[in-house]
Structure 1
Amino acid sequence: MTTDPLDRSITAWEAEASALDASDPIGAYRELFVGSDSSVVYFDGNSLGRPPRASLDRLDAFVREEWGGRLIRGWDESWMQLPFTIGDAIGRAAIGAAAGQTVVGDSTTVLLYKAVRAAFDAQQAADPARVEIVVDRDNFPTDRYIVDGIARERGGRVRWIDVDTTAGVDGAGLRAAVGPETAVVLLSHVAYRSGYLADAASLTAIAHDAGALIVWDLCHSAGSVPVQADEWAFDVAVGCTYKYLNGGPGSPAFLYVAQRLQGRLTQPIQGWMGAADVFAMGPDYRAAEGMRRFVSGTPPITGMLAMQDTIGMIEKVGIEAVRVKSVALTEFAVRIADAELGPLGVTVASPRDPAERGGHVTLSHPAMREVTAALWAQDVIPDYRDPDGLRIGLAPLSTSFAETARGMARVADAVRAVR
């Protein structure tokens, strides 16, 4: 009886994975997540992270002791400040932001609207000739839809950047798009489709040189890729918390506004929680100082509880260590893809250079929609993105090399089955 060459090669990958896991300095954190001891291969941590085990106790204690015990007194005792407390923690642990510049609340879509609209209005007030919002055609749909809507709403126009869908916006592309009519630039730090990691510092400088404000979408980088919002002179940034921050389905997003701009920007959704005196409830709206002015309605307190556990982990190990693990995982996945999937006609549709790649890898093949469906039925969970892309999302704190090797073997099996 002979052994299939693929079986031999997969065994070799599994042996390498075992060695990598044994030497992984943050590998023990995987055990802190619900489901890490199951047979499920989870390749979608870049869309929805696994829940931390500690969140079970945190949520239970909140319902029993704070909500159930303190009732409405909780607002005065801690809840009113919680969006800012957690925001500052995200700033410290994940995005390189000093205190007083980050708040949690609203969905990513609502916060992106607030951010782009506020930046556009401020630019228009200073210079009516600045009527363009710059965005790339391969940005996440919400980003593009919001820009299009704000341009029509405010009498502006969209300046589109065409990009390679296996990469993203680079310096040359942005320089060609910005100029004296540019009001705002909206870019993603990590491209949702390809995983391309933009040079945020240099692109921010290019936007500023053109007199524009820049809004960064950090949804696919916060908690996986180091960000230095203050050092890189970000103006405004928005990121979600249900991916690498493990906040849970629909957990609220965060908003960063640089200190120097907080008094200049007027957010467009005036609600009672953003007023200077929340409980005065007077006839006129007067915006609060600082980040409170960017809050609109009642904060979603229960939705922002779970993310605290992962934020604490990131702060403990350091975002640089998380990034080292992320690079190692994606490099491992790319090597397996080249060796085992390349001969099956699968190509890597993500940057090869890890310095230009975030926390996920996209594999391209005409049958990937069917492959994804087949894998889900086998408890191997990637996701699919047009055109023909299967995304392998590897959350550094909760994903092992062994899980990655097992999953890639099943991807190879599924591709062979549908060819």
Structure 2
Amino acid sequence: MPQISQKGIDMPASPIRKLTPFADKAKQEGKKIYHLNIGQPDIETPEVMLNALKNIDFKVWAYTASEGTASYRTKLASYYNKLNYNLSPSDILVTNGGSEAITIAMQACLNPGEEVIIPEPFYANYNGFACSADIVVKPIMSYIDNGFALPSIAEFEKVITPKTKAIAICNPNNPTGYLYSREELEALKELCIKHDLYLFSDEAYREFCYDGKEFLSPMHLEGLEEHVVVFDTVSKRYSACGARIGCLITKNKALFQTALKFAQARLSPSLEGQIAGEAAVDTPDSYFEAVSTEYTARRDTLVKGLNAIEGVFCPNPGGAFYVVAKLPIDNADKFCQWILEEFSYENETVMMAPATGFYSTEGAGTNQVRLAYVLNQTDLKKALVCLEHALAVYPGRQD
């Protein structure tokens, strides 16, 4: 029998999706499941984006340029320049989702065996992207007790080696919802300049900042132009996860040309996705204002409800639409499977993501779960009731 590759063996399974078979079985048994495990919003996609798809009239479904269509990149540049990024279309490489942008950057910036430092917990698929690129993730711990604030620069210095080539952040953060401050980003800037490192900035949740807090990108920091690589996507901003259109942004021309070679190897991003993405830039501000109001209310409902449950602690996030909560349990992986397999309250249960999958350090996050507040408030409240009853009878409860 032919052998599987070592890379295939090493490639981690998604902790967000690995419980799907248990959820499917629970549904077959007639249980209603509240899906708080995955960042799939129930917010409607902007009408202007859907209309662009409906009105497509091309006669040949052709390749586009590997870097993306000129019209979409021009439109994207106008979007970013309203945010004071000071970009030209030639700084933007359109990708098949934000995921491809990250994979291309890792391959273009790091040699096999070199290291990227990432504050943990972090988006679980970074591990998979790093595996694909044959690079090493060096985690640096952030803690739930202070809301997952950026670790001190001294902690970064401890893990920097001659193999370190980059630092990666997600801002606002998935899975914690933490929003980095200006002081934290300025400190990272000085660190990257001192050690000549790339700074990867995953900005998929840029539009989701709450309580009047300011979003700041490394693109706003002077003197860091050659170091910054931004990853973005239409998935979350426009509730268009299935469009699979993202982009890589950098003002480093040598890096851009290198990334373009990887993009050429996969030919091109989808034409219809770019047509929809170009139209999406015209989404009115009122759409984002309504979405922000809704997510703020959902966050408040979820965080307040979690902290009202005995033994549960959940910090209040400043952005994105996720929380990481600490539960009075022995093992998050066991609990998240048990609540699907063995538990129901009024024939309903909850699907969550064990936080262990968002840590790279062995044994971290064993009593934590990530919950996405992508459901309406009524469903969130019902999910909280299920969770409270589940924790009361869970055999592995730890008080």
Q: Which residue identity is paired with 1:187?
A: I
Query: Which residue of structure 2 aligns with residue 412 of structure 1?
Result: 388
Take 1:132 and 1:179, find their aligned partners in 2: how far apart are those partners?
Answer: 8
Deviation for aligned residue 1:247: 1.8
Contact 1:120/1:183 (CA < 8 Å) preserved in 2? Answer: yes
Is 1:59 aligned with 2:21?
no
SS at match of 1:58: helix
SS at match of 1:135: strand
Query: Which residue of structure 2 aligns with residue 84 of structure 1?
Result: 73
Is 1:361 aligned with 2:323?
yes
Following superposition of structure 1 onto structure 2, how do residues 15-26 of structure 1 map, counting pairs within 5 Å? none
Following superposition of structure 1 onto structure 2, how do residues 396-407 of structure 1 map, counting pairs within 5 Å? 401=377, 404-407=380-383
Q: Alignment RMSD, CA only?
A: 4.4
Q: Which residue identity is paired with 2:52?
A: R
Following superposition of structure 1 onto structure 2, how do residues 116-135 of structure 1 map, counting pairs within 5 Å? 116-120=106-110, 132-135=115-118
Contact 1:42/1:381 (CA < 8 Å) preserved in 2? Answer: yes
Contact 2:98/2:247 (CA < 8 Å) preserved in 1? Answer: yes
Take 1:309 and 1:382, find their aligned partners in 2: how far apart are those partners?
Answer: 34
SS at match of 1:208: helix
Take 2:63 and 2:248, find their aligned partners in 1: how far apart are those partners?
Answer: 24
Contiguous gaps of at least 5 residues in structure 2: 1-31, 210-214, 330-334, 356-365
Query: Which residue of structure 1 aligns with residue 171 of structure 2?
Result: 189
Is 1:297 aligned with 2:267?
yes
Cα–Cα, structure 1 residues 410 and 61, in superposed 2: closer, same or farther, change >3 Å?
farther
Following superposition of structure 1 onto structure 2, how do residues 213-292 of structure 1 map, counting pairs within 5 Å? 213-219=198-204, 221-225=205-209, 226-232=215-221, 233=224, 235-249=228-242, 251-257=244-250, 259=251, 261-267=252-258, 270=261
Query: Which residue of structure 2 aligns with residue 176 of structure 1?
Result: 158
Deviation for aligned residue 1:158: 5.5
Cα–Cα, structure 1 residues 159 and 49, in superposed 2: closer, same or farther, change >3 Å?
same
Cα–Cα, structure 1 residues 376 and 97, in superposed 2: closer, same or farther, change >3 Å?
farther
Following superposition of structure 1 onto structure 2, how do residues 301-316 of structure 1 map, counting pairs within 5 Å? 301-306=271-276, 311-313=281-283, 316=285
Query: Which residue of structure 1 aligns with residue 16 of structure 2?
Result: none
Take 2:243 and 2:391, find their aligned partners in 1: how far apart are those partners?
Answer: 32
Q: Which residue identity is paired with 2:258?
A: Q
Name which one, 1 or 2, has greater alpha-carbon Rg. 1
Contact 2:33/2:348 (CA < 8 Å) preserved in 1? Answer: yes
Deviation for aligned residue 1:361: 1.6
Indicate which of 373, 386, 395 corresponds to 1:394: 373
Deviation for aligned residue 1:360: 1.5
Contact 2:116/2:164 (CA < 8 Å) preserved in 1? Answer: yes
Contact 2:36/2:371 (CA < 8 Å) preserved in 1? Answer: yes
SS at match of 2:167: strand
Aligned-pair identity in percent equals: 11
SS at match of 1:186: strand
Take 1:85 and 1:181, find their aligned partners in 2: how far apart are those partners?
Answer: 37
Following superposition of structure 1 onto structure 2, how do residues 101-116 of structure 1 map, counting pairs within 5 Å? 101-116=91-106
Contact 1:372/1:390 (CA < 8 Å) preserved in 2? Answer: no
Deviation for aligned residue 1:214: 0.9
Deviation for aligned residue 1:406: 4.7
Deviation for aligned residue 1:143: 2.0
Indicate which of 341, 344, 354 corresponds to 1:385: 354
Could you give the per-residue CA deviations for residues 121-155 of structure 1, whole angstroms, max 9, x where no partner exists? 7xx9xxxxx96433345433332343455455xxx
Could you give the per-residue CA deviations for residues 218-269 of structure 1, whole angstroms, max 9, x where no partner exists? 33x2332334342135610113432343223261222111x2x124544256
Take 1:310 and 1:371, find their aligned partners in 2: how far apart are those partners?
Answer: 39
Query: Which residue of structure 1 aligns with residue 125 of structure 2?
Result: 142
Take 2:280 and 2:285, find their aligned partners in 1: how far apart are those partners?
Answer: 10
Cα–Cα, structure 1 residues 52 and 141, in superposed 2: closer, same or farther, change >3 Å?
closer
Deviation for aligned residue 1:168: 5.8
Deviation for aligned residue 1:404: 4.1
Cα–Cα, structure 1 residues 103 and 269, in superposed 2: closer, same or farther, change >3 Å?
closer
SS at match of 1:298: coil
Take 2:307 and 2:138, find their aligned partners in 1: how far apart are those partners?
Answer: 37
Could you give the per-residue CA deviations for residues 79-116 of structure 1, whole angstroms, max 9, x where no partner exists? 83354145336535779564423343224343212213
Contiguous gaps of at least 5 residues in structure 1: 1-38, 125-129, 275-294
Query: Which residue of structure 1 aligns with residue 3 of structure 2?
Result: none
Following superposition of structure 1 onto structure 2, how do residues 25-64 of structure 1 map, counting pairs within 5 Å? 43=36, 46-48=39-41, 50-52=43-45, 54=47, 55-62=49-56
Query: Which residue of structure 2 aligns with residue 204 of structure 1?
Result: 189
Deviation for aligned residue 1:318: 8.6
Contact 1:336/1:408 (CA < 8 Å) preserved in 2? Answer: yes
Deviation for aligned residue 1:212: 1.4
Cα–Cα, structure 1 residues 43 and 296, in superposed 2: closer, same or farther, change >3 Å?
same
Q: TM-score, normalised by structure 1?
A: 0.61
Cα–Cα, structure 1 residues 185 and 41, in superposed 2: closer, same or farther, change >3 Å?
same
Deviation for aligned residue 1:185: 1.7
Q: TM-score, normalised by structure 2?
A: 0.64
SS at match of 2:220: coil
